[in-house]
Chains A and B, each alone.
Chain A
Amino acid sequence: MSLLVARGVRKTFAGIVALDDVDLEVEPGELVGLIGPNGAGKTTLFNCLLGITRPDRGSVGFAGRDLARMPVYRRARLGIGRTFQRVELFSGMTVRDHLLVAERARRGDGALWKDVLGLGRLRRDEVDRSERTLELLGLADVADRPIESLSLGRGRLVEVGRALMTEPRLLMLDEPSSGLDRSETDALVATLHQVHRERDIAIVLVEHDVDMVRGFVSRLYVMDFGRVIASGATTDVLGDELVRRAYLGGAAP
């Protein structure tokens, strides 16, 4: 059974069709890419899957459950993690704090009475779990640094780590290479591969960096003008003439 299923998703903004009858499927543990020119509707689709935008028509399901009208935070608890194109970090917190907050959120909503009785403080096993994720992402050396002092590349890894703490079954990455240089991008891809191997998480990647997409995902969706114009195995799709013209232009390999 597919992990994530979108069927016939349509969304218009002020009369402009942003998404037109889009279908998308992600299998458990699969690496899927989503590319397309600017304004093709990638971000809108992303937002519809995550619950930030509500589609006008069509359905989104996750692990057999219908996600219609489900708010963002409940989808997160079902196992959909994400990162942001323009990093969204908790200012004034350390790297470790980021992971610990996510860990606390995974364990269920904080009840005030527990805090009042002094049960809300840090627990040993929480710290241990965060330690393991910090190790996995290579962030252990900056664990206690304030988030503001980190580079963008490290900040994005913190976002990945924060999402991993919630034990997602699906990780949605919104242009993770934007703002990173080549070596940082390569490092990120290597880390993501390792994450995928160790935790067997399905990953959906929205990207502009064709090199990154080619090296990372096994299956690819290409969007243009709010529609999926091609989908299939990565190498086949990137060789497609239609895709070449719509997306790659003169920069085609």
Chain B
Amino acid sequence: MTAPLPGGTPLLELRGVSAGYGPYRALFDVSLEVAEASTVALLGPNGAGKTTVARLCSGLVRPTSGRVVFAGAEITGLPPWRIARAGVSHAPEGRSVFASLTVEENLALELASLGRRGMASALARAYDLFPQLSGRRRQLAGTLSGGEQRMLMLARVLAHPPRLLVVDELSLGLAPVVLEQVYATLHTVRDAGTSMLVIEQHASHALALADRVVVLDKGTVMYAGPTAELGDLRTRFLG
């Protein structure tokens, strides 16, 4: 598919991966790469298999065939916690927070490996990113509104930026104002050197962030290349 970028080895590589859920196949022989310090937008209509790609990256779904390689090491079939420790952070779609834990506990769980001092500064960074959360540290996450829960989930993965960030359907259920704010944060994170795989259905925000685009349709890659060259495919696949 795409050759490695000159000079840079790919940070994440999917090689001929197929995957599915029980009898339903979601991906067929998909190959894609995310280069070191780059951002890839993964676009495509609903049901194209984008979320399955995200789950493959973080190990939530195991491929039925093909390989997943991260930072030169094979991670195919590893449990999600090993992949997370290797530096892949996955922000799943939907309201993925621990409803029965407080806001602060949600953050602390993710940051436990940083030690006491590291955690304190990471928490401060999280509340800086989303000041709305800082007044609700002791509130149960399940009592937050839908948008606030999305913020908390992002705060969790952004408080301690990983090597590769996989975000799935960020715009889902977010009001435009909040969405702007969240994408501004992602721009900062990208500029600080974190690689990203951004999955979106509404393409404009993701395209502004990414230097490469992969378009999925019906579980296969329809296009992969620089954002600038997307051209008329943009209208054909993204409406």
A-to-B contact residues, CB < 8 Å: 13-14, 16, 36-39, 43, 85-86, 148-149, 151-153, 175, 178-184, 186, 208, 210, 247-251
Give the distance in Å from the alpha carbon of A210 to the alpha carbon of B24 in the complex. Answer: 34
Which A residue sits closest to B140, measured CB to CB? A14
What are some 23 contacts across the A-B interface (CB < 8 A)? A14-B143, A37-B178, A38-B145, A38-B147, A38-B175, A39-B147, A39-B148, A43-B145, A43-B146, A151-B47, A152-B46, A153-B47, A178-B172, A179-B172, A180-B201, A181-B45, A181-B46, A182-B201, A183-B45, A186-B239, A210-B176, A247-B177, A251-B180
Q: Give the A-B contact count at a CB cut-off of 8 A.
A: 79
In the complex, the answer to whether A208 meets B175 with C-beta atoms within 8 Å is yes
In the complex, the answer to whether A181 meets B178 with C-beta atoms within 8 Å is no
| Chain B window 119-142, contacts with chain A (Cβ cutoff 8 Å), 1 for yes, 0 for no | 000000000000000000000000
Give the distance in Å from the alpha carbon of A180 to the alpha carbon of B46 in the complex. Answer: 6
Give the distance in Å from the alpha carbon of A43 to the alpha carbon of B173 in the complex. Answer: 12
Which A residue sits closest to B201, measured CB to CB? A181
| Chain B window 7-28, contacts with chain A (Cβ cutoff 8 Å), 1 for yes, 0 for no | 0000000000000000010000
Partner of A183, one of B169, B202, B239: B239
Give the distance in Å from the alpha carbon of A182 to the alpha carbon of B43 in the complex. Answer: 12
In the complex, the answer to whether A249 meets B176 with C-beta atoms within 8 Å is yes
Given the interface pairs A38-B147, A39-B148, the reply to whether A179 lies near B169 with Cβ below 8 Å is: yes
In the complex, the answer to whether B175 meets A148 with C-beta atoms within 8 Å is no
Give the distance in Å from the alpha carbon of A37 to the alpha carbon of B145 in the complex. Answer: 10
Partner of B45, one of A85, A184, A210: A184
B-to-A contact residues, CB < 8 Å: 24, 45-47, 94, 143-148, 150, 169, 172-180, 201-202, 238-239
Chain B neighbourhood of A85, CB < 8 A: 173
In the complex, the answer to whether A39 meets B145 with C-beta atoms within 8 Å is yes
Chain B neighbourhood of A153, CB < 8 A: 46-47
The distance from the CB of B182 to the nearest CB of chain A, in whole angstroms, is 11
In the complex, the answer to whether A38 meets B148 with C-beta atoms within 8 Å is yes
In the complex, the answer to whether A86 meets B47 with C-beta atoms within 8 Å is no
Given the interface pairs A13-B143, A86-B94, A250-B180, the reply to whether A37 lies near B175 with Cβ below 8 Å is: yes
Closest 4 A-B residue pairs measured CB to CB? Answer: A38-B147, A39-B145, A182-B239, A249-B177
Chain A neighbourhood of B143, CB < 8 A: 13-14, 16
Chain B neighbourhood of A251, CB < 8 A: 176-177, 179-180
Give the distance in Å from the alpha carbon of A148 to the alpha carbon of B47 in the complex. Answer: 12
Chain A neighbourhood of B147, CB < 8 A: 37-39
Chain B neighbourhood of A208, CB < 8 A: 173-176
Partner of B46, one of A37, A175, A184, A186: A184
The distance from the CB of B136 to the nearest CB of chain A, in whole angstroms, is 10
Chain B neighbourhood of A249, CB < 8 A: 175-177, 180
Chain B neighbourhood of A210, CB < 8 A: 176
Give the distance in Å from the alpha carbon of A210 to the alpha carbon of B63 in the complex. Answer: 38
Which A residue sits closest to B200, measured CB to CB? A181
Given contacts A43-B146, A152-B46, A182-B202, 19 further A-B contacts (CB under 8 A): A37-B147, A38-B146, A38-B147, A39-B144, A39-B145, A39-B146, A149-B24, A178-B172, A178-B173, A180-B46, A181-B202, A181-B239, A183-B45, A183-B239, A208-B174, A208-B176, A249-B177, A251-B177, A251-B179
